[in-house]
Chain A
Amino acid sequence: MNNWNRYWWVETSSASRWWLMKSLLALLAFDVWLELPSHGGRYGVGGFNVAHFGWLDAIQPAPTPSIYVGTLLGVGLCAASLLWIRPPRWVLALLTFGYTWSWSMSMLDSYQHHYLISLILFSLTFVPSPTMAKAETDSPRSAPAYVMIATTCAIVYAFTAIAKLSPDWRSGSALRRLSGNHEGLSELRDAIGVTSETFWPGLAAATIALQFLCALAFLLVTQRGRFQNRGIRFVITGLAIAPLSFHLGAEWLGLQIGWFSYYMIAITGAYFIPEAWLRRPLIPIARLARAANGLKSELTPMHLAVLTVTALGTIWFCALRVDLPGASIAALVATFIGLILAAQAIRLRESHAGALAVSALLVASLMMWVSIASSNVRFDYYRFVGGDMRRRGQLEDSLAAYIKANQYAPRDCAALHDTSRPERNRRCDRRREEGLVRQQLRQGTGQR
């Protein structure tokens, strides 16, 4: 076996693969439910759109809030369902397609890490995933796609470091602007006792070095098991400090990068945490899964049919309760997947597997409803729509959006005149905005 093959066909731990898959799917589900839909109102405004790829504009329908948010909710349902079962490869492929389309349909979604997640999801489709019941006992096996995910991360870090080799980054001015003169960094500079002229270029150089170290860490981590020397294995594990410090630092600085840091921290955990530690929490999960397997013989196709109807009813109930555009598109996708899985199970006479799959969809739809209902995503969605409509002179639509936003206003908006929290007041004061729009509407009517 040559070095090329030795690099890709290395033994990989089932626990690491399991954690990698499940943590990414969980993050993805909550990311697309809680973080991204709030800006969905931008899609289709003024009938203007530019997709990430020119050819996509030619073949896709013009993106609208319903299409964008619906795709996101569907992707989330799909990802959350796969948390509870061993992911069928075709569903992972569908998830990759749906997610990739969600960001590529418009340059309005320009987070670079969304492209990274698409690459990772694509590789994840080929990663052998252990079943829940065997998650902690499966023996290691080669998984080139698992190695590819780490390699992808290494490529990303290396290019990110290269991008920072330009003179205005090395001078520290870009970093200074990026951090917005963060107070903590000023304190750090004072603690070290250096001038700004030394501090910023020094910090820039350290950041570049750290990112190259992150790249090296991800290239080495999958090869860790090949080293006989425990010291070397220990050092490679210790390299986790590089990506962890980089992403925790980014969060500390408050950089607006969505959930990028959380994804990278989850990936770092799955690859770098020693196998024994990753296995331990899987023991109770596997025990539960084995107990569920015990019900196998008692499930008939009739049980499966009843469960499927219940699951589909729950999906539609939750989708309607979500009260965001496109929720019915997501429910439709979930219904389609649920019916295929149920039909496949009946055909293969595996009622148990079908029951698990539709139960997973049922739980996923409840997760979607509860997480969206307990977050501010709807409040943000409707207030952003209201603000945009007001700016563009569509006052009646703006008023309707503000009224809806106020239905979902966070509870802590009740006391609006807390002067110690001006930031919250600005965000919460939608009633004032609503009043302004009403006033503008009245004036407009009077003038007419």
Chain B
Amino acid sequence: MTSDEPSDQEECSRPRRTQIFLLLFLVFQLVVPLTYYLRDNPYDERFAWRMFSAVRMYQCNVEMREGSEDRMRPVPLGRVIHQAWINHLRRNRQSVALRLLERRCEEQQVNRVTIQTTCLNADGAPLPATHYTRDCTSEISQVTSGTL
């Protein structure tokens, strides 16, 4: 069906273009996972080829609260999002947490939303908690690490 065989002329001009293309694709494949090691967010291991890493073995608890500055109430996560997203929060996925904060701010009578994840490493030792906070009025989200 297809005639993929290159002509002689194409064959001669191809190596140069192909070389550049190969180089770029190779660099891309090396740089993408390397960026993981330059970030200060160890939890997002996507595209870094860290299957079965120690970070994957961390066990985290997640708690979400919302309301106003003086009256925050817990949010039953299972009623709000699918369990699969809760699992992402338990893996401390920053982009999921931040999007969820934005989402909850769309609800009425919600001025402030917080998510706190507390994790244990593979040895069972506690790690610094991560706090995600969003002020719905100013639409500013903050991520802080460490115990409050």
Contact = CB atoms under 8 A, between A and B. Distances in A.
B79 to A, nearest CB: 6
B88 A257 contact: no
Given A48-B103, A144-B18, A164-B53, A391 B47 contact: no
A175 B84 CA distance: 24
A357 B1 contact: yes
Interface in A374-389: 388
B1 A5 contact: no
Contacts of A110: 46, 88
A112 B100 CA distance: 23
Nearest to B99: A50
Given A48-B82, A54-B95, A353 B1 contact: yes
Interface residues of B, number: 42
A336 interface: no
B15 A392 contact: no
A167 B92 CA distance: 21
A166 B53 contact: yes
B49 A159 contact: yes
Given A42-B82, A46-B82, A144-B18, A350 B1 contact: yes
Contacts of B96: 50, 107
Given A156-B49, A159-B49, A173-B123, A48 B99 contact: yes
Nearest to B49: A159
Give the interface centre of A8, A48, A50, A163 by most chain B CB atoms within 10 Å: A163
A357 B2 CA distance: 11
Contacts of A317: none
Interface stretch (B23-31, B111-119, B139-147): B23-31
Given A5-B15, A357-B1, A169 B95 contact: no
B101 to A, nearest CB: 12
A108 interface: yes
B4 interface: yes
B49 A163 contact: yes
B108 interface: no
A152 interface: yes
A88 B52 CA distance: 37
A401 to B, nearest CB: 14
A50 to B, nearest CB: 5
A341 B1 contact: yes
A110 B89 CA distance: 13
Interface in A105-131: 107-108, 110, 112-113, 115, 119, 123, 128-129
Contacts of A391: 78, 83
Interface residues on A, range: 35 or more
A42 B54 CA distance: 27
Interface string A170-201: 01011101100000000000000000000000
Nearest to A175: B52
B110 to A, nearest CB: 15
A160 B57 contact: no
Interface string B44-62: 0111111111101100000
Given A144-B22, A353-B1, A392 B46 contact: no
A39 interface: yes
Nearest to A4: B19
A169 B2 contact: no
Nearest to A48: B81
B59 to A, nearest CB: 9
B84 A42 contact: yes
A236 interface: no
B7 to A, nearest CB: 14
A48 B85 contact: yes
A9 interface: yes
A86 B50 CA distance: 35
Given A88-B2, A255-B52, A107 B93 contact: yes
21 contacts: A5-B19, A8-B18, A45-B82, A48-B85, A52-B46, A54-B95, A88-B2, A89-B4, A107-B96, A110-B46, A112-B47, A112-B51, A115-B47, A148-B26, A159-B50, A160-B49, A160-B51, A163-B45, A171-B123, A174-B56, A388-B82
Interface of B: 1-2, 4, 15, 18-19, 22, 25-26, 29-30, 33, 45-54, 56-57, 78-85, 88, 93, 95-96, 99-100, 103, 121-123
Across the A-B interface, the 8 shortest Cβ-Cβ residue pairs: A159-B49, A163-B50, A353-B1, A174-B122, A174-B54, A45-B82, A168-B54, A163-B53
